[in-house]
Each structure stands twice: as C-alpha cells, then as structure tokens.
C-alpha cells in the first residue's frame, strides 16, 4: 500500500512546491511594481493599496506595513464567509508582497522621473504578477475576499462589489491627497487588466470564473 502511495505523494509534494513557487514569484513581481514604480508616486494599485497610501499620508506609516495590515484585516473579516483553505494562499500573497514592497522601496529606485512612464511600467509588472497568481487561483489581496463575501451575502455580482469598494477608496484618496490620483489609479487598473486578459490562457486557468479584480468578471 505504501509503495502505491509513494508516486501520489511525490506528485502532491511536487505540485505543492510548484504552486508555492508560482505564488511567491507573482507576489514578488507585484511587490516590485508597487514598491519601485507606483507607491513612490502615491498611485494605489487597488483598494488595499489606496488605504495604505492614506495611512502613509496621515500617520507616516510605511506603505508595506499599511498594505499588510489593511489586506490582513480585510481577509480576517471575510474568511468566516469564504473558508480558511482558500485564505492560506492569500495570506502568503499578502505577506510576500508587503515584504517585497518594503525591500524594493529601500534598495531600488525607478530610473524614470516621469510619473506617467512609471505608471505604465508599474501597471505592466503588476498585470504580470496578478496573472501568475490567478493561474494558481489565489486573490492578490484581502479586499477581494470582502467583495466575494458581500456578493455571497447580498447575492450581487462580485465584480460590482469590488468596483464600488475600490472606487470609493480611490475617490477618498484623490480628495485627501491629489485629484490626479483617481485618474492614475483607474488607468493603472485598466492597464493591468489588459495585461491580465492578454496573458490569460483558458487552457491553464479553465472556465471557472475569477472575480478577484475590480471592474470585470473573469
């Protein structure tokens, strides 16, 4: 019996290693996008990042710490409705992304001074990172879990719930800091969404819908 189970165990461990490596890589790439290109210009890549920008503006809290606290809080709020198993991968994403944001903010700086060039490059890397995470069926932040929980409870479209949550946070950030932020945030979301859709491979991801990003059903 143990001989028969050995190949299955080896396959499971190999798949677990591959999945963890992909999640780590996707988190690292999106952390690179935020820490080097987006956060230095206070451009939020999502609702959680928007709150992190506000915490940094109001209290001087490091972006990486604000991002981690915000996403973990969202995740803990929604895990009761959506289950613990699917939250494990998201915890890994949140932690690796936050640590990498802190590292890249300190040791790497964009070679470009123009905010729009940084927005373009940051959105490109962000879309690549999110695409890798989606292929492993994990969300890129805790706010996606809240949107899914609201959608489950209220029986509404998860994409609509996430749109209004992110939109409200972006609007508040723009009012408090600079009105241009909402334009930059929306453009970042649109560009990263294009990258995700471009890299989306149905044969890999399958036909199961993914609702973890704003403004679209996947």
pTM, 2 dp: 0.80
Q: What is the pLDDT of residue 88?
A: 81
Write the DSSP string, 164-180. HHHHHHHHHHHHHT-TH
CA 137/CA 122 separation, integer angstroms: 22
Q: What is the pLDDT of residue 3?
A: 57
Taking 50 as the pLDDT cut, the residues of the chain under it are: 1, 203-218
pLDDT tens digits, 173-208: 989 998 888 899 989 988 988 888 888 655 444 444
């Amino acid at each position: 019996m143990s001989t028969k189970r050995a190949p299955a165990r080896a396959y499971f461990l190999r798949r677990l290693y591959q999945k963890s490596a992909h999640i780590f890589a996707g988190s690292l790439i999106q952390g690179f996008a935020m820490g080097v290109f987006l956060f230095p210009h206070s451009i939020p890549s999502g609702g959680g990042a928007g709150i992190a920008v506000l915490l940094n503006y109001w209290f001087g809290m490091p972006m990486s710490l604000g991002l981690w606290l915000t996403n973990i809080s969202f995740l803990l709020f929604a895990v009761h409705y959506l289950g613990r198993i699917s939250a494990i991968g998201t915890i890994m994403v949140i932690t690796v992304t936050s640590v990498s944001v802190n590292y890249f903010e300190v040791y790497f700086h964009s070679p470009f001074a123009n905010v729009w060039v940084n927005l373009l490059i940051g959105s490109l890397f962000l879309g690549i990172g999110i695409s890798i995470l989606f292929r492993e069926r994990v969300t890129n932040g805790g706010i996606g879990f809240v949107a899914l929980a609201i959608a489950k409870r209220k029986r509404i479209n998860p994409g609509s719930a996430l749109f209004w949550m992110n939109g409200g946070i972006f609007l508040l950030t723009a009012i408090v800091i600079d009105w241009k932020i909402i334009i930059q945030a929306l453009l970042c979301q649109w560009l990263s969404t294009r990258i995700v859709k471009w890299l989306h491979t149905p044969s890999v991801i399958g036909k199961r819908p993914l609702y973890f990003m704003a403004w679209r059903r996947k």
